[in-house]
Every structure is written in structure tokens, then in C-alpha cells.
Structure 1
Amino acid sequence: MGFTSFMGRVLFASVFILSAWQMFNEFDASGGPFAKELIPKLTVMRKNLSSKLGVEVPNIDVQYFVTTIIVLKGLGGILFVFGSAFGSFLLLLHQALTVPLLYDFYNYKPNGPEYSLLLNDFVQNTALFGALLFFIGMKNSILKRQLKKKAPKTKTT
């Protein structure tokens, strides 16, 4: 069970680690191709939030955002491989920040080709989010079970 669990964590985290490595290699003064894709989506998000909240949402520097994403993916993935709950929390934070932003199917018409592609990617990443929640839940239940075990009583003579 131990080796199987480790291999499962390695395969799961490889998605995040390899993606972080690719983003790191492509990162340049402008933030790389990911930043170019992210700028219009951040602009739309700012406009939507500003109109809904009634306050001006501050501008987000894309380079810092991309750097944060690289760190969350890389560090979270490496820690997750070793079974760290903190690593899974970092990956959850990454998913919570990026999935609604990148896969914004809600900004497209349901009959359009972009809608179905973005919805499919959104659902896949939501499944990854659920798997991370499952890992955290299992980790917590194992810790609780170990704490509930009673220490053997010493016999008095």
C-alpha cells in the first residue's frame, strides 16, 4: 500500500510539477506566454468584480501573479509527493486562484465552441480539486484514528 500510495502521489503531482517547470522555463520579462493569456482574463475579472461589488478592484501585476502560480505549483507538488498536507493546501490554493480565471466558460454562449472546451477543462480541474480535498480528508482521518488508539495500561504488581 505504501509504494502504491507514493506512486499515485508522484503521478498526480507530476501534472503540477511539470507544468510549473514549463512555466518557469518560458518565464521572461513580460511574464511569458501564460501572462499574455492571463492579461485579458484578469481585465474581464476586474471589470466584473468592480461592477458587482461597487468598488474599484486594484490592478494585479501579472508577473507577480505568474510567479506566485509557479511557486504554488512547484512547491505544492513537491511537498504533495512526500505526503504533506501543506503541499495539498498549496495546490488547492493554486486551483482556487486559477481555475475560475482560466476556464471562464461562463463568459461564453453555451452553443459556442469555446464554451464546451472551457467547460470540459473546468470540470477536469474541479475533479483535481476534489481529489486534493479527498487527500486532505483521508490524511486527517488517519491522524485522528492514530490519536484515538489507547496506550496500553501497565499492570501493577
Structure 2
Amino acid sequence: MEIEDEAWTKAEPEAEALVWRAAQAVLDAHEDVEGQGIVILLADDDSVRALNRDFRHKDYATNVLSFPSPQDPASNPEGQIGDIALAYGVCAREAAEQGKPLAHHLQHLVAHGVLHLLGYDHEGDEEAEAMEALEREILAGLDVPDPYADDGSANLG
């Protein structure tokens, strides 16, 4: 884990522990996952914007980005699952707009990102419902309220 933007730990001193608990909760719910290496970057908006621009061709900062590792052992000898990057400014603004503690939003976005690394998506309604159900279950185990309960939107891009 790398904390690039110290605003994360200023706003949420337990950020690192919260991130690892959320990531591990997803992995624990998927016992069939081989390898558990995940790199998580707590970054600023500019860094996430650059990643989003360079890898997804979308020139804006977003809350969380997930980059699955190749599953080919020759290309991925360490068995890494992938990388996740979170933008502090976007996440903090969303948490405030949604009336949620940053800690809860952070754990939700980490769980969401790890699920993407494991192949889950939310492009179609059926996929979105399945992914959201898993998120709710995992977050409930972390004592994080249902992120979709109020308005059905958790601003996940």
C-alpha cells in the first residue's frame, strides 16, 4: 500500500487499516481466489486523473480505478490480483455529499475496486445487482451501512 496524498491520513487516521480490512473481507468472501497480492494507492485527484486519462482515455479524476493483473503466470509470476487507486478529493467530496463518514465510503470503494479485480462489473442491470449485493454483504460484515440504501446511487464510476 502506498499513501501518496497525506490528506487521506489527515482526514482519516485509520485509512490504512480500513483499506486492508475492506480488501481482506472481499478476499475472504472468495476462497477460490489464487494469490492475494493487491497494490492499493491512496492518491490525489491529479494522479488518479492521469491514470484514468492514460489507461482509460477519460480525462477526469474518478473515485476508484481498478487494474486487474494478467492471469498468465509468465506475465504475473507473483500471482498479483491487481492494483487499485483512489482519489482523495473525489472520495471526500462524495462522502460529504452523501452524508457518509469518509471511513465508510473508503471501505465501500475499496471493496468495489477489489470486486472489479476479481472480474465483477456493473455494466448491465443484472451484473450491477449482483455486484451491489456482494458489496452490501461484505460491508455489513465491516459494520458499514448499506451504501445504496438512501438514494440507490453510490456514485461509482
TM-score greater than 0.5 by the shorter chain: no
How high is the TM-score relative to the length of structure 2?
0.29
Q: Work out which structure has the larger RCO, using CA pairs closer than 8 Å and 6 or more positions apart in sequence.
A: 2
How high is the TM-score relative to the length of structure 1?
0.29
More strand by share: 2
